[in-house]
């Protein structure tokens, strides 16, 4: 594996001197193909930790789609409905449990996942490699690769696709370090285990937490541990459906993640699934077109003739009333926050996207307001007692 690996450059091309190296022995990974960059490795190492811990928390294979050191999506390997398969553009593919996990992870926010770095908890099988092979992606990290999977991956990007094999047995040192502006920081690594013990304290009147909601809250909490703070995650059916990362205000996190969750759900609307795309339009352009179709700008698109390049016939827009009716049917969504909610406005916004279960740190001086909002809206909320800040 080696003790050091030179990089093409750092975060930006002008930062020409860059490398990764092991502080205690060899690097815990091998590059099987390509030449991963600085940000690629940040995504790979954060992503690997996420999927490893998500599998440990749920017992199912996990996958994550990382962009700029936060997950655009993450999921466990549950089967996809016919509608979700169509929304994720995988109706024509056989899906193993691991491939289903990645289809869900990428499907959480397909626009943000464009050019992602993929993390897989298990050996990359042929089915998962076939799915990855046809998506725009920078690279993948996994503990192993099946013999029939590697040729599919190595053929990507003209043979330059980044393939990293991580040592599954590697455990990092207890202390970790970083430098900022010539100043060294040291802290104990966040080795907190995310498990059901965090979901035992219910200050709300509603205390019911079905097994599916517990699973989804664990998925969201593990993801938060490796999402740039402040962060909020919405989860449903074993996957993230909305991630709000790196916002200075928690309500902005909740709104951002909620808006993404709404778009994810609107992509399952029968009218969206039936959009008459031209056969030559690829998946990235279809994703962009769906995003515009669901936006307030669609009326302008109809007027400027762009639709003719995308569709075989002009699709009628979804009215605001139709969108609201579809979204109003959402229910049973789980939401987790990496720290406490200071105001009840977060609860109000979450409820609009079908949130019925919440896990958050607790301990705010305004906990009573947040609890009252949950009680009024019929939401079960758990105080985890832990923060999951990540920087």
Q: Which residues are catalytic?
A: 67-68, 230, 391
Would you call the peptide bond into 358 cis, given omega within 30 degrees of 0 as the criterion?
Answer: no
Find out whether 31 and 41 touch, Cβ atoms under 8 Å.
no
* CA-based nearest residue to 139, from 46, 40, 59, 236: 40
Total H helices, total E strands in the chain: 14, 15
Distance CA 351, CA 332 (A): 10
Angle, vertex CA 236, rays to CA 199 and CA 390, nearest 5: 60
Q: How far is CA 188 from CA 22, 25, 47, 78, 210, in A?
A: 17, 19, 20, 34, 34
Angle, vertex CA 306, rays to CA 300 and CA 310, nearest 5: 130
Residues 6+ apart with CB under 8 A from 126: 146, 148, 149, 152
* CA-based nearest residue to 82, from 240, 293, 241, 273: 273
Distance CA 357, CA 207 (A): 9
Phi/psi class of residue 328: alpha, beta or left (left: φ > 0; alpha: ψ in -120 to 50)? alpha
Find out whether 73 and 54 touch, Cβ atoms under 8 Å.
no
Distance CA 145, CA 151 (A): 10
Distance CA 11, CA 251 (A): 29
């Amino acid at each position: 594996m080696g003790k050091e690996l030179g990089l093409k450059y750092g975060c930006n091309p002008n930062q020409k001197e860059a490398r990764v190296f092991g502080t205690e022995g060899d690097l815990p990974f091998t590059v099987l193909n390509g030449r991963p960059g600085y940000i690629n490795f940040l995504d790979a190492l954060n992503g690997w930790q996420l999927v490893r811990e998500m599998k440990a928390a749920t017992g199912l294979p996990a996958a994550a789609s990382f962009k700029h050191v936060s997950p655009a999506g993450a999921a466990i390997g549950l089967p996809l409905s016919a509608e979700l398969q169509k929304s994720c553009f995988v109706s024509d593919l056989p899906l193993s449990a691991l491939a289903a996990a990645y289809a869900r992870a990428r499907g959480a926010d397909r626009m943000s996942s464009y050019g992602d770095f993929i993390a897989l908890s298990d050996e990359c099988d042929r089915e998962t490699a076939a799915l990855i092979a046809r998506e725009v992606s920078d690279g993948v990290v996994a503990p192993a690769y099946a013999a029939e999977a590697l040729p599919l991956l190595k053929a990507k990007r003209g043979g330059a696709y980044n393939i990293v094999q991580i040592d599954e047995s590697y455990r990092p040192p207890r202390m970790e370090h970083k430098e900022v502006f010539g100043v060294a920081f040291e802290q104990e690594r966040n080795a907190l285990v995310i498990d059901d013990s965090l979901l035992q304290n219910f200050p709300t009147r509603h205390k019911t937490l079905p097994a599916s909601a517990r699973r989804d809250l664990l998925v969201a909490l593990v993801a938060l541990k490796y999402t740039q703070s402040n962060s909020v995650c919405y989860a449903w059916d074993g996957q993230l459906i909305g991630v709000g990362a790196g916002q200075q205000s928690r309500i902005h996190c909740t709104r951002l993640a909620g808006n993404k969750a709404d778009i994810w759900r609107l992509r399952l609307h029968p009218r969206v699934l039936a959009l008459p795309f031209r056969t030559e339009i690829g998946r990235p352009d279809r994703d962009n077109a769906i995003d515009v179709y669901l936006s307030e700008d669609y009326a302008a698109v109809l007027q400027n003739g762009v639709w003719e390049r995308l569709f075989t016939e002009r699709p009628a827009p979804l009215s605001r009333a139709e969108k609201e009716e579809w979204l109003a049917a959402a229910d049973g969504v789980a939401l987790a926050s990496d720290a406490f909610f200071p105001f009840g406005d977060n609860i109000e916004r979450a409820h609009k996207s079908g949130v019925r279960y919440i896990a958050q740190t607790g301990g705010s001086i305004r906990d009573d307001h947040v609890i009252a909002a949950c009680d009024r809206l019929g939401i079960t909320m758990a105080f985890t007692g832990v923060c999951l800040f990540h920087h």
